[in-house]
Structure 1
Amino acid sequence: MEPELGVATAAPLGPGAPVVAIDVGGTTIKAAALTSDGRLSEPLRVPTPVRGPDSAERVLDVVGQLVGELSATPADAPRAVGLALPGIFDDETGVGHWSENLGWKGVDFSALTARRFALPVALRHDVRAAAYAERRLGAARDAATALVVLIGTGVSAALFIGETTHVARGYAGEIGHAVVVPGGEKCLCGNRGCLEATASAAAVVRRYERLTGAVVPGASAVLALADSGDTAAGQIWESALDALAFGLAHAISLVAPDVIVLGGGVAEAGDTLIRPLQARLEELVRIQPVPRLTRAHFGQDAGLYGSALAARDLLGSEAGA
C-alpha cells in the first residue's frame, strides 16, 4: 500500500488523541493517521473491493489491514478509528441502508465493527464526514447554515443548520438523485435525468466517451479538452454546469443556506466551475439571496479530516460517559 506523493500535512486539529481516519469511496479507500500533535500522515490509497454480496465484509478486511499498517508506531498508537462510508448510511445507528456502487443493503456496520475491531469506531456517511470538517474548521466554519456538496463519482450533499447535521435516518442530502433533466440520462438508481447522471465526474467521462468514441482518464481531462476548444467536451461541461445550477437552485429555494461549499474531484476545477455556476444561480434564484459558492478548504482529504474529528469526538464522549 503506497502513500500518496507529498509530505505529512499540518492539520488545524490541534493536540489530542491519536486516531486513524479512513474514507471509503466508490473506487478508492483512503486512510491516514492523525498524530497526537494534530498532523495527518501521508494518506494511503488502495482500490475499493468490487461490488458483490460480501462487499461489506471485504471492505472491512481492507480497513483492518489499513488500521494495522497505520498502528505501527507504538509511541503514537491510535486510540480510535473514524470510518466514513458511502451510500445511504445512517450516522446515528451505523446501518448502511444501501450502496449501489458497492452492492450492500441493510448492513449493520456498528455491529460488524464492534465485533471485528478492538478499537472503538466512529461511523459517518462519507459526505457528512467531509462536511463536518468543513463546518468545524474549513470553508463553512462561520456560516449559520451551510450546504456542502461533493461532486465526484456521485453527487451528494450535507446540510448544517447551526452545529446540527440533518441526517433523516441517512436519507438526507441525496441531491444527486434530484431530477434536473426529465427523461434524460439513465441513473444507477433506476430513474432518468438525475443530477448525478448528468454532472458527476463519472457522468462527464461517460457522456464524453459515448459522444466521441475517445477514451479519457477522468473528468479533469474532459475539462482540459473543453478549455482547449474541443466542441464535444465544451458541450458536456456546459450541460453539467446547467444541471448543477438547477439542482443547487432548488436547494437554495428550500433551505436558503448562507454558503455552499463545493468539494470532490470536479470541484478541483476551481473558478472554472465556481464562476459560471455562480452566474447561473444569479439568473435562476430570484427571491432568496444567492449564497456564496466556495471550494472546500480540505479538498479531497475532507473525508479524512472529518473522520479523524469524529474519532476524537467518540473518545471524548466515552470519557464523559
Structure 2
Amino acid sequence: MRHVIALDVGGTGMKAALVGDDGELLHRARRATGRERGPDAVVGAILDFAAELHAYGVTHYGAPALAAGIAVPGIVDEERGVAAYAANLGWKDVPLRALLAERLGVPVALGHDVRTGGLAEGRIGAGKGADRFLFVPLGTGIAGAIGIDGRVEAGAHGFAGEIGHVVVRPGGTPCPCGQHGCLERYASASAVSEAWAAACGDPAADAADCAKAVASGDPEAVRVWQAAVDALADGLVTALTLLDPRTLIIGGGLAEAGEVLFSPLRDAVRRRVTFQKLPTIVPAALGDTAGCLGAGLLARDLLDPAGPGSPAPDTTDLDPTDPSEVTA
C-alpha cells in the first residue's frame, strides 16, 4: 500500500504516523526525544525512529514509504532542509533533510513545527476552505503560520509568522529575543502562568488554574486574564491589519480554556478594528496532532505538487490521548 512517513519532533517527545495514499492513518507511534542525552543523540533518535517506521511499512504494507515529512521546532531553513537552531534541543545547523533522505532512501520534506501545524489546520482542520488564514498557537511562547491558498508562507528567511515578537507594550518586559514588550511576554500560556502565580501567591499555579478562577468569578484572576487578552488582541489586530486573513485560528494550551478565552478575545478584537474586516476567530481543531498531520501533508506534496487538492488524512478516529495509539 502506498504511504508516506510523518514525523513531528517536540522538545520532549516525537509523534509519528504512516499515512496512506488515500489519506488514511495506517499506523501511529510515539517516542521520547531524549534531549537530556544531547543534540547528537536527538538526531540519532530521529533517524532511528524514522527507520523503524520505514521498516514497519515494508513489513505490514508490503512496500516502503514513498516520501517522508518532518516538523521540528526552532529556526528552520526549509529551502535548504536545515534545522538551523533549536534552544530546547540544543542543535545548530543540522542538515536533517539530507540525513533522513540518506537513511531512508526517499525524498524528505522538512518544516517548522508551527507552520506545519498551521498547514494541517488550514487544509483539514479549523481553516479548511479558507483561502487566507492565520494560525496562532498560544503555548510556552507564541508563533504563527500564515496560510495562503492551501500553503503556508515561510518568508524570505524563514521567520514569517513570528507574531510572538511583535512589540505590544513598548518599553515593557524584557524578552529573550532582545526586545522589550513582546506579545509572548504577556499573552503566552507561560506568561499567564507566571502572572497568576505571582497574583495568587502559589508558585505552582498555572494558566489553566487562572482560567478556572476566571470562570468562578475571581476578580484578581479576571484582572490577570484580561491583561493577557488585551495584549493578545493588540498583537492580533496588528497581524490582521497586515495580512487580512479570512479566518483566525487560535490553538495551543491557552485555547483549551474555550469560551473563557474566546468570548473576551472576540470582544477585544472587535473593539479594536476600524477599517479592517473582522475575521472569523475559531479554536484550532487538531490539537497536538496538527504537527504530525502537517508533516504527512508535506511528504505527500513531494509526490503531488498539487497537494492542496489531494485527499486529506482522515482524522475522525485520531485520539492523541488513547494509550492504544502510543508505543513504547
Fold shared, TM-score > 0.5 on shorter chain = yes
Please list, as runs of the form range in 1=range in 2, the aligned pairs for 1:171-210 lying within 5 A after superposition. Answer: 171-210=159-198
Q: Which amino acid aligns with 2:168?
A: V
Question: 1:2-49 CA distances to partner (integer Å, 9 max, x unpaired)?
Answer: xxxxxxxxxxxxxx7322322122343322333455333455253561
Unaligned runs of 5+ in 1: 1-15
User: 263-272 or 97-106, which moves further after superposition?
Assistant: 97-106
The reply on whether 1:75 has 2:63 as its aligned counterpart is no
Structure 2: gaps (5+ residues): 306-328
Question: CA 1:118–1:104 in 2, change beyond 3 Å: closer, same or farther?
Answer: same
8 Å contact from structure 2 (residues 140, 188) kept in 1: yes
2:20 equivalent to 1:32: no
Query: Is 2:133 the counterpart of 1:146?
Result: yes
Q: Does residue 58 of the first structure (1) align with residue 46 of the second (2)?
A: no
Task: Using structure 2 for the length normalisation, give the TM-score.
Answer: 0.81
CA distance, structure 1, for counterparts of residue 151 and residue 260 of structure 2 = 31
Percentage of pairs with the same residue: 41
1:231 and 1:211, CA in 2 relative to 1: closer, same or farther beyond 3 A? same
Q: 3-state SS of the aligned residue for 1:214?
A: coil
Displacement after TM superposition at 1:230 (Å): 4.0
Residues 211/272 of structure 1: CA separation in 2 closer, same or farther (3 Å cut)? closer
Q: Distance in 1 between matches of 2:120 and 2:80?
A: 21
The one of 96, 107, 121 equivalent to 2:83 is 96
2:124 to 124, 130, 137: 137
Match in the other structure for 2:222 = 234
Task: Check whether the contact 2:196–2:207 (CA below 8 A) recurs between aligned residues.
Answer: no
The answer to whether the 8 Å contact 1:263/1:300 transfers is no
TM-score scaled by structure 1?
0.82
Q: Residue 192 and residue 104 in structure 1: after superposition, are their counterparts in 2 closer, same or farther (change >3 A)? A: farther
Larger mean Cα displacement after TM superposition, 294-303 or 162-171: 162-171
1:1-321 correspondence runs (5 A): 17-35=2-20, 38-40=23-25, 41-44=27-30, 46-47=32-33, 49-50=35-36, 55=39, 57-70=40-53, 71-72=55-56, 74-76=59-61, 78-168=65-155, 169-216=157-204, 218-316=206-304
Letter in 2 for 1:28: G
Distance 1:29 1:184 in 2: 35
- Aligned mates of 1:92, 1:186 — CA distance in 2: 32
**Per the alignment, do residues 35 and 180 of structure 1 end up closer, same or farther by CA in structure 2, a change over 3 Å counting?**
same
Structure 1 residues 157-210: Cα deviation after superposition (integer angstroms, max 9, x where no partner): 111232443212211110011111223333222322211122112222233334
Partners of 1:213 and 1:62 in 2: CA distance: 41
SS at match of 1:132: helix
Structure possessing the higher relative contact order (Cα contacts under 8 Å, 6 or more residues apart): 2
RMSD of aligned C-alpha atoms?
Answer: 2.6
CA 1:101–1:285: 2 relative to 1, 3 Å: farther
Runs of 4+ in 1 over 6 A off after TM superposition: none
Structure 1's 218 and 42: CA in aligned 2 closer, same or farther, altered over 3 A? farther
Deviation at 1:284, TM superposition (A): 0.5
